[in-house]
Chains A and B, each alone.
Chain A
Amino acid sequence: MSADDGSDRYDHAVSRRKILSVAGASGLAALAGCSSGGDSGSNSTTEDSGSPGTSGTTGSGDTVHEATYTNAYTGNPADLHFNTSGIQNYRWPAGRSVFAPFMKYSFTTNEFILGALSDLTIDGQEVTLTFRDDLAWDNGDEWTTEDLDVQLQLAEKTGSSLWGYLDDYEIVDDKTARLMLSGPTNSRILKFELTNFLVDTKAETHEQFLDKDASEFLRWAWEDPVASGMWSFVNKDRQAFEFERNSEFYNADSVNFDRFMIESFGGNTAQQQALMSADHVDGSPSLFCPPEIVDQFPDHVEQVNIPAKWGYGIVFNHNDEHFGKRNVRQAVAHVINRQSLVENAGPRSKFVTNTPCGIAPKDQEYWLDDMQDSFETYGPESQNTEEATQLLEDAGYSKQGGTWKDDSGNTIGGDYFSPAGWTDWTTMTQTVVSQLNDFGFDFSISTLPTNDWFSQYSDSNFAMGSLYWLPGGSRSSFPYFPLYYQLWESEIGGGHNYREPAQTEQTIPGPDGGEMTITPLDEVEQIAQQPDDESAREYVQRAAWHNHIELPFLGLVSKYEQSWTTDDEWTVASEDNPNRKVKWPQFWWVHEGDLQYNG
């Protein structure tokens, strides 16, 4: 099924779709996990891999070592499953262990790299997918386009974004299929869409859902997956996922160790603690670490920074009596000093948005080009309180006793939600709220377990709060995805109430000082339909202009994802290796043979 890259951008790996509840998830559980720290579990990698005993050979005659690579991760494996379309309790690291990706995107070379696909041809409105001849399931069955047929049908049933571009598809032969596009489409969009797909659907197990409601499929917990990737599933319990080498995997020769674990840790702090000794764990796919902690890590812990195209932002409830007003949203943007968030939460891994316009910071210059100077920056390194004051006064607010109030004496504020355990986010939340309250807003910080935090937004039970402003992953490099994400916000089911305005014609101040009429969603959809960047640029600029005036979201900070692996017993991809910056090293490096046992 469509494997959406959006959720793997954070160590807590929030499911991309609405996560409304997870059994047993709570702050207390997290705390309990924290306290167990790095001492949990008894299987030591060092012990397992200390003796380079061999259990066999690869197909090419190389040795397969009895060694285990252990990942530190947050999440209770017992509750998690392998249905990548599941709306609850699916987590990316486990999925990426057992399922081969169609293709990946390298941030090192800014190119796409093929995985299970052996060829991808985009010719006008026809896309030909050719899969590897040696693609197979770990039970010995051959993978065929019969499996893809079921996968595409289920993708359509569940409303996968890929079907936003497709009219139909046809199966050409056992390894080849052809997608028929509904209109002119930017080839990069299609490629980014395909980076979210895994070989995760087997006709035999999945076709039963073709005749059932989509909801039934979305609720299905696949507990015993058939693997197409590097690892076969062995077991899961409250402590860990356990995988063993899949000898049927097409790149099995590149995998020279026999076990792979994803262990549950209580939160960032417990994972950091584990990496300080780095004797039990060998890596952590995604973990924020402040500089003081990084300094404590031993030399054999290697940091891999990958552009996350994701970061801390603010979501407004556009039905709120205050934050539904553009002036108030712009005032908020002016009051926040974005640079101070970066300095407080991670100057080495985070950076500010030049202008909050719905495009990832490092891509703004390319897309906005000459127009960039016309954009309001809202002061990335300052608090523009004068501008904010003017905006609020124009909107009918007045400052009384240090607090802004409307005609009825109501203050502007409420509960500002932030996810518990996301330590860098907590720091940024405290900075934002402090700056806003100093200016005269009236916010209280409420940190909630991740699922509750999401629920507040999907239930529209908020005024304004923290939420990532980019959908994350490689696709965020292409402006269509983040601009669309901010208008439509599928992950909280449109709980920010901007879907209606997004489809309505709006008149906003234009870049030339006049007025501009725009229907934001139409403009963004036009981006997807342009054959190349040059023709898309005009639409990107108009959509970004609207975004930075209207502020459906407020983008504040973006970051490099900090991924950690050790090089005392394992190989690492070199800096210039195209595989170096592919999300995430623990999975793609194994796929490519760049992460091998050499203890």
Chain B
Amino acid sequence: MPTDADANASSDDLDWRSAASEEEVSTRDRLAEFYRRSVREPALVAWSDNRTRAGIVILSAYVAMALVDVFGLWRDASPNQSTERLLAPFQSLKYPLGTTQSGVDLLALIIDSTPFILLMVLAGGVWATSLAVFVGTISGYKGGRVDTVITSISDFFMAVPGLPLVIVLAITLSPENPLLLGVILTINYWAGLGRSIRSQVLSIREESYVEASRTMGTGTLRIIRKDVLPNIMPYVMVNFVLAARYTIFASVGLYFIGVLPYSGQNWGVTLNNAYSQGGLFTMQALHWLLVPIVAIVGLAFGLILLSQGMDRIFNPRVRTRFSGESESVEETDDETTTGLM
């Protein structure tokens, strides 16, 4: 039986900011909660949507191709590996996607390039979005002189024409590392995104809960991390995917026009070769052009589908409805819109 003294002691130790005492939640429970909140629920929300599911499946296929290359489960692409030149796809089990004019296995070409492309895409996406988030939130939340300086810098980067800058950098630096290349390709992508994030932060900082945090003396970084970031995450994640997609197109374009050095024939180089060797004009070489196009479009399409899934995952209403904690009525936005139109 607890005594009064015990009760007083407990009362004194109790942190007024906590909703429950520490003894009630074990580490295991916290991990379980974290798993439920951060992994299982998002995954289920994502999986419940057909488009997201398709996006995940597509991207998984690319990751699988990358693993096939990393573990050497398919031959490396090399000229003259097939005696049959310009073999059409689906004619031979040995060369399922056919071969090029130089007798290169097209499937091997695509697989060989996948790890490089994925790393580059990841680097481009992470660089562009993280820098944009950093700049946008600091600029939007702090305001004043900090905002003026950051805004001026990002104005400058927005004014610099992106493609010529990237071409000059690509020629000057000759990047062969996929991570560096990803960063170079999105070198000024962050500026526009940062500006959009800034405008969102400007409205969030006026919210009452942010003001409450400020009143309590909470530090700037903590407010940004706890109050601001979660609100802009859906937007950030969607833009992460868009930046990744931009990286693919930019790299393919630069490889196509031949300003980037390469050691293996990646998708852009393959496209260029196919174009140069008459892929546009002759049926024999058409597959040579189509295979890298399908690879590029497939990855971009997978990323777009995933970005829509991201929106659902971060959308509080969808998640709440999914976990059954809300009894909100079904949205009728679509019908309304249709009716209006």
Q: Bound complex: CA of A337 vs CA of B102, how far in Å?
A: 13
Q: Does B285 touch A at the CB level, under 8 Å?
A: yes
Instruction: Kindly name the residue among B167, B262, B284 whose own CB sees the greatest number of chain A CB atoms within 10 A.
Output: B262
Contact of B281 among A296, A337, A343, A447 (CB under 8 A): A296
Q: Is the CB of A344 within 8 A of B278?
A: no
Q: Does B33 touch A at the CB level, under 8 Å?
A: no
Contact of B261 among A269, A276, A434, A445 (CB under 8 A): A445
| Residues 402 to 434 of chain A near chain B (Cβ within 8 Å) | 415, 420-421, 423, 426-427, 430-431, 433-434
Q: Bound complex: CA of A268 vs CA of B281, how far in Å?
A: 13
Q: Does A444 touch B at the CB level, under 8 Å?
A: yes
Residues of chain B lying within 8 A (CB to CB) of residue A273: 281
Q: Does A340 touch B at the CB level, under 8 Å?
A: yes
Residues of chain A lying within 8 A (CB to CB) of residue B263: 433, 437, 443-445
Q: Does B80 touch A at the CB level, under 8 Å?
A: yes
Q: Is the CB of B79 within 8 A of A435?
A: yes
Q: Is the CB of A446 within 8 A of B167?
A: no
Residues of chain B lying within 8 A (CB to CB) of residue A324: none
Q: Does B259 touch A at the CB level, under 8 Å?
A: yes
Q: Does B174 touch A at the CB level, under 8 Å?
A: yes
Contact of A27 among B174, B176, B259 (CB under 8 A): B259
Residues of chain A lying within 8 A (CB to CB) of residue B280: 269
Q: Does A272 touch B at the CB level, under 8 Å?
A: yes
Q: Is the CB of B273 within 8 A of A337?
A: no
Q: Is the CB of B282 within 8 A of A293?
A: yes
Q: Does A295 touch B at the CB level, under 8 Å?
A: yes
Contact of A296 among B265, B277, B282 (CB under 8 A): B282
Nearest residue (CB) in A for B254 is: A27
Q: Does B78 touch A at the CB level, under 8 Å?
A: yes
Q: Does B258 touch A at the CB level, under 8 Å?
A: yes
Smallest CB separation, A352 vs chain B (Å): 14
Contact of B80 among A340, A433, A447 (CB under 8 A): A340
Q: Bound complex: CA of A268 vs CA of B257, how far in Å?
A: 14
Residues of chain B lying within 8 A (CB to CB) of residue A141: none
Q: Is the CB of B80 within 8 A of A290?
A: no
Residues of chain B lying within 8 A (CB to CB) of residue A433: 263
| Residues 59 to 107 of chain B near chain A (Cβ within 8 Å) | 78-80, 85-86, 101-103
Q: Does A576 touch B at the CB level, under 8 Å?
A: no
Q: Does B301 touch A at the CB level, under 8 Å?
A: no
Q: Is the CB of A343 within 8 A of B80?
A: yes
Q: Is the CB of B102 within 8 A of A446?
A: no
Q: Does B116 touch A at the CB level, under 8 Å?
A: no
Nearest residue (CB) in A for B81 is: A434
Q: Does B275 touch A at the CB level, under 8 Å?
A: yes
Q: Does B27 touch A at the CB level, under 8 Å?
A: no
Q: Is the CB of B278 within 8 A of A290?
A: yes
Instruction: Kindly name the residue among B85, B278, B280, B281 whose own CB sees the greatest number of chain A CB atoms within 10 A.
Output: B278
Given contacts A420-B258, A433-B263, A444-B263, contact A427 B273 (CB under 8 A): yes
Q: Bound complex: CA of A420 vs CA of B275, how far in Å?
A: 13
Residues of chain A lying within 8 A (CB to CB) of residue B284: 292
Given contacts A344-B101, A430-B79, contact A272 B278 (CB under 8 A): yes
Smallest CB separation, B161 vs chain A (Å): 12
Q: Is the CB of B282 within 8 A of A438?
A: no
Q: Is the CB of B257 within 8 A of A290?
A: no
| Residues 290 to 314 of chain A near chain B (Cβ within 8 Å) | 290, 292-293, 295-296
Instruction: Kindly name the residue among B78, B79, B275, B280 whose own CB sees the greatest number of chain A CB atoms within 10 A.
Output: B79
Nearest residue (CB) in B for A30 is: B257
Interface size class of A (residues with CB under 8 A): 35 or more
Residue interface mask A1-41, B partner, CB < 8 A = 1:
00000000000000000000000000110110000000000
Nearest residue (CB) in B for A288 is: B276
Q: Is the CB of A344 within 8 A of B258?
A: no
Residue interface mask B94-138, A partner, CB < 8 A = 1:
000000011100000000000000000000000000000000000
Instruction: Kindly name the residue among B78, B80, B167 whose own CB sees the greatest number of chain A CB atoms within 10 A.
Output: B80
Q: Is the CB of A344 within 8 A of B80?
A: yes
Given contacts A272-B278, A293-B282, A427-B273, contact A446 B79 (CB under 8 A): no
Nearest residue (CB) in A for B255 is: A447
Q: Is the CB of A268 within 8 A of B101?
A: no
Residues of chain B lying within 8 A (CB to CB) of residue A272: 278, 281
Q: Is the CB of B275 within 8 A of A269?
A: yes
Nearest residue (CB) in B for A341 is: B79
Q: Bound complex: CA of A27 vs CA of B280, how far in Å?
A: 20
Q: Bound complex: CA of A57 vs CA of B273, how far in Å?
A: 49
Residues of chain B lying within 8 A (CB to CB) of residue A295: 282
Residues of chain B lying within 8 A (CB to CB) of residue A293: 277-278, 281-282
Q: Is the CB of B258 within 8 A of A290?
A: no
Residues of chain B lying within 8 A (CB to CB) of residue A431: 79-80, 102
Residues of chain B lying within 8 A (CB to CB) of residue A415: 174, 261
Q: Is the CB of A426 within 8 A of B276?
A: yes
Q: Bound complex: CA of A238 vs CA of B265, how far in Å?
A: 34
Q: Is the CB of B276 within 8 A of A268?
A: yes
Residues of chain A lying within 8 A (CB to CB) of residue B176: 444
Smallest CB separation, A10 vs chain B (Å): 15
Q: Is the CB of B102 within 8 A of A427?
A: yes
Q: Bound complex: CA of A443 vs CA of B262, how far in Å?
A: 9
Q: Bound complex: CA of A344 vs CA of B288, how far in Å?
A: 14
| Residues 243 to 296 of chain B near chain A (Cβ within 8 Å) | 257-259, 261-263, 265, 269, 272-273, 275-278, 280-282, 284-285
Q: Bound complex: CA of A341 vs CA of B331, how far in Å?
A: 64
Residue interface mask B215-259, A partner, CB < 8 A = 1:
000000000000000000000000000000000000000000111
Q: Is the CB of A430 within 8 A of B265?
A: yes
Q: Bound complex: CA of A344 vs CA of B100, how far in Å?
A: 9
Q: Is the CB of B277 within 8 A of A423?
A: yes
13 contacts between A and B (CB under 8 A): A268-B276, A269-B280, A296-B282, A415-B261, A420-B258, A423-B276, A427-B102, A430-B273, A431-B102, A444-B261, A444-B263, A445-B261, A447-B259
- By a beta-carbon cutoff of 8 Å, the part of chain B in contact with chain A is 78-80, 85-86, 101-103, 167, 174, 176, 257-259, 261-263, 265, 269, 272-273, 275-278, 280-282, 284-285
Q: Which 8 A-B pairs have the closest CB atoms?
A: A423-B276, A344-B102, A447-B258, A446-B261, A420-B258, A431-B79, A292-B282, A444-B261
Known: A427-B273, A435-B79, A444-B263. 19 other contacts (CB 8 A): A269-B276, A272-B281, A292-B86, A292-B101, A293-B277, A293-B281, A293-B282, A296-B281, A343-B85, A344-B80, A344-B103, A415-B174, A420-B257, A426-B276, A430-B273, A437-B263, A444-B174, A444-B261, A445-B262
